[in-house]
Amino acid sequence: MPPGDLAIWFFIFAELLAFGIFFVAYAFARAHNVELFNESQQHLNIASGAINTLVLITSSYFVVRAVAAIKQNFSRECARWIAAAIGMGGIFLAIKLFELYAKFSAGISLSTNTFYMFYLSLTIFHFMHVILGMVILTAVMLKARSGGYSAKLHTGVETGASYWHMVDMLWIILFPLVYVIH
């Protein structure tokens, strides 16, 4: 069995499918508007996309450490690693909001062109998944802090961890696809 509650895995696979279709749709839409996509992509902030990748990867690693901690029966340590991961999620959101604010201030919207329609909807859709992941991790952190998990019983920690890794995985594809490849 995969780590965590089996139900979360059906949810994860549904999410992978939805994002997968979105990624492929982006690639084929680009194939029909190569110049427009290449030109619009030049205006994206690659540094902020890259920093956010580093931030999410690190937060995923923190969640790995949280799972390792609870497997040793260290509830408080587990809660602290999760809190650190949530903090990284907050940094991701702040950087993303800054980036989106810059785009909206420049008058860019979903109707600007096909590239921006994809850029905004893909990143905002992913943004909402980061928020959901942070909500799940917060619930797990609170339960861990109150000693609700142990070395033997910690399915909840692995469930939250699996969802958070998925959010990280999706950004690992989204970043090169939308910001770098042309």
Binding-site ranges for other proteins (CB under 8 A): 1-3, 9, 13, 16-17, 20, 23-24, 27-28, 30-31, 34, 38, 42, 46-47, 49-50, 53-54, 57-58, 60-61, 63-65, 67-68, 71-73, 151-152, 161-162, 165-166, 168-169, 172-173, 175-177, 179-182
Residue 60 or 103 having the CB closest to other proteins: 60
Provide the minimum distance between the beta carbon of 25 and other proteins in the complex, in angstroms, as a whole number: 9
The rounded radius of gyration (Å) of the Cα atoms in the chain is 18
Residue found by looking up tokens 């509650």 in the block = 5
Provide the minimum distance between the beta carbon of 82 and other proteins in the complex, in angstroms, as a whole number: 14
- How many other CB atoms sit within 10 Å of the CB of residue 147? 11
CA distance 55 to 68: 20
Provide the minimum distance between the beta carbon of 145 and other proteins in the complex, in angstroms, as a whole number: 20
The gap between the terminal CA atoms of the chain, to the nearest Å, is: 39
Residue 16 or 109 having the CB closest to other proteins: 16
Provide the minimum distance between the beta carbon of 16 and other proteins in the complex, in angstroms, as a whole number: 5
CA distance 119 to 126: 11
Q: At what angle do helices 155-174 and 6-32 cross, to 10 degrees?
A: 10
Residue 6 or 109 having the CB closest to other proteins: 6
Helices and strands in the chain: count of H runs, count of E runs = 6, 0
Provide the minimum distance between the beta carbon of 119 and other proteins in the complex, in angstroms, as a whole number: 14
**How many residues are present in the chain?**
182
The two three-digit tokens of residue 139, written as one number: 């619930």
Residue 120 or 161 having the CB closest to other proteins: 161
Residue 25 or 97 having the CB closest to other proteins: 25
